[in-house]
Structure 1
Amino acid sequence: MEPVTPRRVLRVLAFATAVLCTLIVAVAATARATVVSEGFYQSVLDEESAYDRLYDQVLVDPKAAAVARNLLAGLPVPEAVVTSNIKLVLPPETVRELTHEQIGNVVGYLRGDRDPLDLSVDLRPVLDNINDLAQIYSGDLVASVQNRTEPDFDAFSADLSTTLEDVLAGRAPASLPALPLTEEQAAKAAEHVLAALPEERREALRADVEVALGDGDIGTVLATVAPALVSERTHASVARLRTLAGGDDWNLDRSLDLTGLHRIHPYTAVGLGIVEAVAAALLVIALVALWLTGSPAPGRRPMLLGWALASGGLLTALFVVLVRLLGGGRLVDPSTDRPSGLTRLLDDLQDTALDDMTVAALGSALVPLVAGALLAGFGWAVQVRPRPRTATAYVRPLATGASALALAGLVLVPLAAPSAPRRCEGSVRLCDRPYDEVAFLTSHNAMSTTLDRFIGPLQDPAITTQLDDGVRGLQIDTYRWERPDEITARLNDSDFSAEQRTLIANVVNRVNPPREGLWLCHAVCRAGAIELVPELREIGDWMRDHPTEVLTLIVQDAISGEETAEAFARAGLTDLVFTPDEDPAASWPTLGEMIDSGRRLVVFAEQADGPAAWYRNFYRYGMETPFSFQRPDQMSCVPHRGGTGKRLFLLNHFITAGGGSRLDAGEVNARDFVLDRVDQCERARGRPVNFVAVDYTTIGDARGAVDALNANR
């Protein structure tokens, strides 16, 4: 046993110092890579899809919905229009930019680069978007309203007042009053219209209003004054937001509990750098001392340094595990007042952040552990000093054996590996299931997306992204843009004069100019449109990239069957379309049979029935539930189009309260809600539900419900 000497004591102290300093350096490196790194927080947010979940889970939560309804109650726009356009009012890129800005402020504060902490959000872009949306909506209200002649000036003035009130309240006028006016009457009517505006804005608009009234152009009158009217009405709701936020800049310091952030600030801003620098310097000194006090025997000094570093790495790993076990896994305690969607998001973000911090810390521990092990191994190898001849004696047999094993692997592994099971729609069990016994997640008004900037969108991502997310049924609407002459033709049987019909056509042409071709629109193409053939071509490309998927299109057709067939041919889909049996009661093939045939695109129409053999009227083959529900508790299973007793069953599962309701989608798209209604309707109709049609497929878990239906059948 080596006697206790000053040299030995110094070696022990140097070893302990090296181990402790390795721990400190590893922990400090972890903190720099996580706590004071902007990239760390951004990575956690992206990893948990936080920005998508904000719209799909948090803003549709019942508690959050109540706040949204209160804030938006004063807008001259139906609630459903604002909530369905929430990604236009508050774009994801804006949320991401604002979040990254606040992350930069927090990290700068923790590093000591910014003091004091300033967390404020500029609300002006959001407030401007709300006002713009209200004005766009008000323009749509009057875009295609027909004129109606009035018997006298008093009746004209009364109806003009009613029209203004409708626009101000966010309602579409029943019609526009029309009456040839004298110059005196036009001036009087202009005064009547301008009285609804703030006094300081009247003179700027007076000339345009008087000229339009003199020409009988009520559409131009409304187009002139509506933005000003709506801006005033919108001001009250925008003022609520400003009051809540404390101005155009929302200071988050007053809304968030930042006590913990302020508590660690002194350590991260000043202490972290100093501690890391001191620990690194002491580590170098300790390693030098170990080398100098170590045994001069060959390999002993590298082994001593290696054991010190490896021990420090092992101590760091044990420290990380202990902190994780005793820390409770929570950085922020949950609050019962928060919306459940927000609570789940915060919990998931915390879990991911802690997991990533743990991985980073263990990675920091692994560096000295591996380096120490290699250094110690080198020292041991120097001590053993195997003869070169002994080492080389094993090279040839080892190489020969490795080559033989590799050759055997090339021959035997492919023979032994089992072939991958066949999958249809992602499931082995669905290949032998008939088409009419499979449930398909179906996107209602699939083309009406936020991405394509539809006014009042009913889906968020593009159609092909919906397919990537598990949608296998698409409800789409085909249209042609109305031309002014088509609108005028509808007026030929009216009592309007030729001059009045020309005036109406000119107004419509100016407000809603036509565009040639075939389009996917929702009700009116001016509220959003995408070209039909290019979109069909993209669907075909997706199907060819996914050769084991069966897709169904249910077309609300405002174009002819011949035009539809031509569009499918131009899009190159004729080799994919499936032709149903002429007898709607006949059995359907299995998904596997449809996939094997290559004919796996089923296309139905709401109106047409041909002429292409593959283009059949849905209601010959299928039945549905009603589709106009104002509230979730009104949803029923009573027969609607298609009657009863059909082999295919479409479940219309969405709320249409003045348009789609993003808020209600958070409730009705919940997995249990979908399953309960499907069970109720299947018992009532005696047939399995095939198409579960929902708005906002990314909200809730309708896909999980459909997967459960297919698994349990």
Structure 2
Amino acid sequence: MGTGTGRTRAARLAAWVLAVLSLAVVIATATARSTVLDAGFYRSVLDDQHAYPRLYDQVLVDPRVSPVTRDLLGRLPVPEAAVTSNLKTVLPPETLRALTNEQIGHLVAHLRGDEDPLRLSVDVRPLAANLGDLSQIYFGDLVGSLQETPEPDFAAFRAGLVQAVTRLTAGQAPVRLPSLSLTAQQVSAAADTLLRAVPESGRPALRPDVEAALADGDVAGALAAVGPAVFSDRTRAAAADLRKVADGGTWNITADLGAGSVGALDQARAGTRLALGVVEPLALLVALASLAVLWFTAPPNVPGRLRQLGWALGAGGLTAAVLALVLGLMTGRKVLDTPSSWPESVARLVDDVQTAAFDRMLTAALTTALVPLLAGALLVALARLMERRPDPFATRRAQAVPALGATALALAGVALVPLAFTGQDARVCQGSTRLCDLPYDELAQLTSHNAMSTTADRFIGPLQDPGITGQLDDGVRALQIDTYHWERPDQVAERLKESDIPPEAQKFVLDAVNRFNPAREGWWLCHSVCRAGALELVSTLRELGDWLHAHPTEVVTLIVQDDISGTDTAHAVEQAGLTDLLFIPDEDPHHPWPTVGDMIDDGHRLVVFAERADGPAPWYRNFYRYGMETPFAFRSAQEMTCAPHRGGTDKRLFLLNHFITIDGGSRLDAGQVNRRQDVLDRVHACERERGRPVNFVAVDYTTIGDAGGAVNALNTERAHDR
């Protein structure tokens, strides 16, 4: 009898130990499955720590990181400041996020055994293409803040051009820009002077842009067009440097990791496959078997059996919790000790990310361990209740159900609770995880004034450089466009008188009215006069729709200076296939707007306003019913005010006209007023005066200066204040 009792006790003790250990193992593997072996976990941690904004704002601008930054950008022939201030042009945040998420996905799939061999690669061709954009922005900025110097004659003007282009060739800013009203013959001769610095093969393509800028009196624009071409060979070499790590345009990261790193990853993969494929299911079976042995070898009374199960479940949960805490103490909540040689900005970011990841994993483990601990405590408490009040538990079913229920709850909880810590991909709105909860009427949007009037589309007197898609890619989220029917010859002179096209350009247009560019049917995007440059409305709207469908987390606004009817506009939008994207504002202009995230979730991400019309389509509202603006006919930065203009005051939307108009737009003025601090200072001043946040910061030449950086700063302030 004594021998049998001893064996029973030994079996019960062994079962109890196995139950405790196997439960701890199941908790550990379930936690690992939902954290370190889940791609969303890493993405969520990166977003929680604002890793991407910090990379741009802290790491890549750190002087100690600049050598690496220079190598990354292919040793561009531009000053260090231009590289660091335009990093987002070469490596846009959305691109960086997508690249990182892709590599995380491949790495986790490899560790889980779903992908073999490890394939980490990056397509560097888009980055190489962006190098040319950086050159364009740099040279536009280089001449954008200079002052013009009137010259007495064409010879002096030409000499000034030679001096300016010579300094550009050396990568330096010109000392001054010559200014002179040119005849058509002089325009051609001056263009010859500038184009001599360009490789011969590139001159024909550039000549129209250069001549148009010179005819417009825009010497800065002509130099900005020539500048990147002067460095075309060096820019191509810079792109080639970036592609040296690539084979056919793809950087094979796996090959560059080296045999040691890949071998370590393969060892980790073997361990995770063993843990998930063998250890976890085996531990679960052992736990079930051990708990069954405890039930049948416990004292014959039901309270005793419940107590045995309760203590085993509780001990298993407690063991897992203690092991997790010990691991945290031993590692200092870090996997990697950042070397002292690392720049502080890099070390801080890495430490913050790995500490946050470890804390999240520790929280998942402790929360999961709490489930069997609570189930065990429940069973022990139930055993005491049975001993005090046995009558309600007289039947076998009433005795067995609590035990089975608590055990099933504990094991199911261990499997399911870690899923609550599975990292979900953070919601991104307007390129940021922090703007989804921001109402539309609190969102700041970089707005391109006369967005259709571009050098890329060969407008006379352009006010932007890239085309519509290029502006959107550069961060513009509101487009001011002008819709027209093609004018008759007798209407041209009248429109020109009322336009802000420079007098010299007006003369050029009038001379060309009947000889070139005959009238065309349909709807057009023009700047005052379609013969000075025009884009077909429907095809441009289709281009906008393509961009929106390719960027499903972005909201875009159109503010239309409408010379065609609301009905015509509605037909154009319908023909362009944009109806599914249109947002319908509330009929009451004072009604609160939805959040950016709600608009994105609903799929209605295109807001369209008119300056004159109000309908008939419900999505086509008059802007000045909903919004107010500042004046726009400023002739100098000192004249800029916050005075009420169209729309009056006390409207929910606020348009800040932040550009200089002196016979047309000017790169020189844009270089001054588009500076980040200048934009922020005026925005804050006007917000204090009007009592509403500025929503649309409308500027000429969005690629000159840093108006986009100012808008990003405004949105960061507003998201932080909510």
Bin the TM-score by the shorter chain.
Answer: 0.5 to 0.7
Structure 1: how far apart are the matches of 2:352 and 2:374? 32
Structure 2: how far apart are the matches of 1:529 and 1:703? 20
Query: Could you tell me which residue of structure 1 aligns to residue 347 of structure 2?
Result: 343
Shift of 1:206: 5.0
Distance verdict in 2 for CA 1:255–1:660, change over 3 Å: farther
Query: Could you tell me which residue of structure 2 aligns to residue 7 of structure 1?
Result: 8
- Amino acid paired to 2:297: T
CA contact (8 A) 1:317 1:362 kept: yes
Residue 360 in structure 1 maps to residue 364 in structure 2:
yes
Residue 315 in structure 1 maps to residue 316 in structure 2:
no
Distance verdict in 2 for CA 1:501–1:327, change over 3 Å: same
> Could you say which structure has the larger radius of gyration?
1
Shift of 1:375: 3.0
Structure 2: how far apart are the matches of 1:447 and 1:99? 26
Written as runs of structure 1 = structure 2, the 5 A alignment for 1:254-333 is 254=256, 258=261, 261-333=265-337
Gaps of 5+ in 1: 390-445, 465-482, 516-527, 546-552, 578-600, 608-626, 633-657, 666-693, 707-713
Shift of 1:384: 2.9
Shift of 1:130: 2.4
CA contact (8 A) 1:76 1:234 kept: yes
Query: Could you tell me which residue of structure 2 aligns to residue 238 of structure 1?
Result: 239
Structure 2: how far apart are the matches of 1:48 and 1:377? 42
Structure 1: how far apart are the matches of 2:231 and 2:240? 14
CA contact (8 A) 1:317 1:361 kept: yes
> Any idea what the Cα deviations from partners look like across 1:29-53, whole Å, max 9, x if unmatched?
1111111111111111121121222
Structure 2: how far apart are the matches of 1:347 and 1:318? 24
Structure 1: how far apart are the matches of 2:362 and 2:631? 53
Query: Could you tell me which residue of structure 1 aligns to residue 131 of structure 2?
Result: 130
Shift of 1:371: 2.3
Query: Could you tell me which residue of structure 2 aligns to residue 100 of structure 1?
Result: 101
Shift of 1:132: 3.2
Query: Could you tell me which residue of structure 2 aligns to residue 60 of structure 1?
Result: 61
> Any idea what the Cα deviations from partners look like across 1:130-170, whole Å, max 9, x if unmatched?
22343466689999999999989x99997776676577658
Distance verdict in 2 for CA 1:11–1:232, change over 3 Å: same
CA contact (8 A) 2:27 2:320 kept: yes
> Any idea what the Cα deviations from partners look like across 1:349-388, whole Å, max 9, x if unmatched?
1111011110111122122222222333333333333556
Aligned residue for 1:118, secondary structure, equals: coil
Aligned residue for 1:112, secondary structure, equals: coil
CA contact (8 A) 2:141 2:704 kept: no
Distance verdict in 2 for CA 1:512–1:499, change over 3 Å: closer
Shift of 1:113: 2.2
CA contact (8 A) 2:26 2:283 kept: yes
- Amino acid paired to 2:6: T
> Any idea what the Cα deviations from partners look like across 1:644-702, whole Å, max 9, x if unmatched?
xxxxxxxxxxxxxx97589xx9xxxxxxxxxxxxxxxxxxxxxxxxxxxx897489999
Structure 1: how far apart are the matches of 2:194 and 2:657? 52
Distance verdict in 2 for CA 1:369–1:118, change over 3 Å: same
CA contact (8 A) 1:85 1:455 kept: no
- Amino acid paired to 2:36: V
Query: Could you tell me which residue of structure 1 aligns to residue 644 of structure 2?
Result: 565
CA contact (8 A) 1:181 1:216 kept: no
TM-score after normalising by structure 2 = 0.53
Query: Could you tell me which residue of structure 2 aligns to residue 369 of structure 1?
Result: 373
Residue 87 in structure 1 maps to residue 79 in structure 2:
no
Query: Could you tell me which residue of structure 1 aligns to residue 32 of structure 2?
Result: 31
Shift of 1:288: 1.9
CA contact (8 A) 2:151 2:178 kept: no
Query: Could you tell me which residue of structure 1 aligns to residue 399 of structure 2?
Result: none
Structure 2: how far apart are the matches of 1:314 and 1:215? 76
Shift of 1:127: 1.7
Written as runs of structure 1 = structure 2, the 5 A alignment for 1:417-436 is none
> Any idea what the Cα deviations from partners look like across 1:190-229, whole Å, max 9, x if unmatched?
799488436xx46xx7599599989997999999987765
Aligned residue for 1:337, secondary structure, equals: coil
Written as runs of structure 1 = structure 2, the 5 A alignment for 1:214-233 is 231-233=232-234
Aligned residue for 2:645, secondary structure, equals: helix
Residue-pair matches, total: 520
Residue 17 in structure 1 maps to residue 18 in structure 2:
yes
CA contact (8 A) 1:102 1:119 kept: yes
CA contact (8 A) 2:161 2:193 kept: no
> Any idea what the Cα deviations from partners look like across 1:522-549, whole Å, max 9, x if unmatched?
xxxxxx999699xxx99x989999xxxx
CA contact (8 A) 1:302 1:379 kept: yes
- Amino acid paired to 1:51: Y
CA contact (8 A) 1:660 1:695 kept: no
Structure 1: how far apart are the matches of 2:475 and 2:141? 24
Shift of 1:123: 1.5
CA contact (8 A) 1:81 1:660 kept: no
Shift of 1:242: 2.8
Query: Could you tell me which residue of structure 1 aligns to residue 388 of structure 2?
Result: 384
Shift of 1:303: 2.4
CA contact (8 A) 1:180 1:214 kept: no
Aligned residue for 2:10, secondary structure, equals: helix
Distance verdict in 2 for CA 1:544–1:155, change over 3 Å: closer
- Amino acid paired to 1:334: T
- Amino acid paired to 1:311: A
Structure 2: how far apart are the matches of 1:215 and 1:28? 67
Structure 2: how far apart are the matches of 1:128 and 1:313? 55
> Any idea what the Cα deviations from partners look like across 1:110-142, whole Å, max 9, x if unmatched?
112233323222221122122234346668999
Distance verdict in 2 for CA 1:376–1:568, change over 3 Å: same
- Amino acid paired to 2:645: E
CA contact (8 A) 2:509 2:532 kept: no
Greater shift in the superposed pair: 113-122 or 20-29: 113-122
Shift of 1:604: 14
TM-score after normalising by structure 1 = 0.54
- Percentage identity across paired residues of the two chains: 34
Shift of 1:484: 6.4
CA contact (8 A) 2:631 2:643 kept: no
Gaps of 5+ in 2: 394-443, 452-463, 479-494, 519-525, 536-555, 562-584, 595-627, 661-671, 678-702
Structure 2: how far apart are the matches of 1:216 and 1:326? 70
Structure 2: how far apart are the matches of 1:554 and 1:280? 67
- Amino acid paired to 2:646: A
Query: Could you tell me which residue of structure 2 aligns to residue 113 of structure 1?
Result: 114
CA contact (8 A) 1:290 1:301 kept: yes
Aligned residue for 1:567, secondary structure, equals: coil
Shift of 1:8: 1.9
Distance verdict in 2 for CA 1:294–1:192, change over 3 Å: closer
Distance verdict in 2 for CA 1:378–1:661, change over 3 Å: same
Distance verdict in 2 for CA 1:531–1:25, change over 3 Å: same
- Amino acid paired to 2:386: V
Distance verdict in 2 for CA 1:213–1:124, change over 3 Å: closer
> Any idea what the Cα deviations from partners look like across 1:442-489, whole Å, max 9, x if unmatched?
xxxx87589x999899xx99999xxxxxxxxxxxxxxxxxx9656666
Residue 42 in structure 1 maps to residue 43 in structure 2:
yes
CA contact (8 A) 1:11 1:289 kept: yes
Structure 1: how far apart are the matches of 2:713 and 2:560? 22
Structure 2: how far apart are the matches of 1:605 and 1:118? 48
> Any idea what the Cα deviations from partners look like across 1:567-621, whole Å, max 9, x if unmatched?
351xxx34999xxxxxxxxxxxxxxxxxxxxxxx9x99999xxxxxxxxxxxxxx
Structure 1: how far apart are the matches of 2:46 and 2:208? 55
CA contact (8 A) 1:138 1:230 kept: no
